[in-house]
């Protein structure tokens, strides 16, 4: 005998496990006003920390939380070398946090110049390894180039060398 408003046990268990119907919105675990961005971001490191900060800023409806997430992401970007992400986050901030959190073109130019020099050096080293047919050095050269591109936010280029190490002829 069903009582009006009572949920069957199986349905209640499914709802508790997040298996409710697609048309039913699950409640957020924390309201936007209660979200501590720093504590949330502390669970992550590196590029994931940046992505989580931008995610919170994009999805949160509370401007104070958005700005805190963008501030945290901007500060984290300045510790790295991803100039495109810096441009994106500075554009999202839009001057709302003051001049310190705007696009720093001098920093972008410095990082870009340094990146070009490092990329050329890594490519030259890899070409030398290929010439000398040193398999382990070739592998390490591809790893270094992948790490370089990953640090600069060029994720497709970071993984492009993974399948290019072909077996070398026996000498």
- pTM here is 0.67
What are 64-91's pLDDT values in tens digits?
889 999 999 999 999 988 899 999 999 9
pLDDT at res. 163: 57
- SS3 assignment, position 11: helix
- SS3 assignment, position 140: helix
Identify whether the C-beta of residue 55 lies closer than 8 Å to the C-beta of residue 26.
Answer: no
Identify whether the C-beta of residue 137 lies closer than 8 Å to the C-beta of residue 129.
Answer: yes
pLDDT at res. 31: 61
Cα–Cα–Cα angle for 127, 129, 131, nearest 5°?
A: 70
What are 13-56's pLDDT values in tens digits?
444 444 444 444 444 455 656 778 888 888 888 888 888 899 98
pLDDT greater at residue 11 or residue 146: 146
Identify whether the C-beta of residue 60 lies closer than 8 Å to the C-beta of residue 69.
Answer: yes
Name the average pLDDT for the chain.
79
């Amino acid at each position: 005998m069903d009582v009006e408003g009572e949920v069957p046990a199986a349905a209640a268990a499914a709802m508790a496990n997040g298996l409710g119907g697609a048309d039913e919105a699950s409640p957020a675990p924390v309201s936007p006003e209660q979200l501590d961005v720093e504590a949330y971001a502390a669970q992550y490191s590196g590029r994931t920390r940046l992505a989580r900060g931008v995610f919170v800023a994009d999805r949160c409806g509370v401007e104070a939380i958005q700005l805190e997430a963008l501030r945290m992401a901007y500060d984290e970007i300045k510790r790295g070398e991803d100039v495109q992400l810096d441009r994106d986050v500075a554009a999202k901030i839009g001057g709302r946090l003051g001049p310190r959190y705007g696009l720093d073109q001098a920093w972008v130019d410095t990082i870009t110049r340094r990146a070009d020099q490092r990329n050329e050096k890594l490519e030259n080293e890899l070409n030398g390894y290929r010439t000398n047919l040193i398999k382990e050095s070739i592998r390490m050269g591809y790893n270094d180039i992948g790490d370089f591109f990953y640090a600069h936010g060029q994720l497709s280029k970071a993984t492009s060398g993974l399948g290019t190490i072909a077996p070398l002829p026996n000498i």
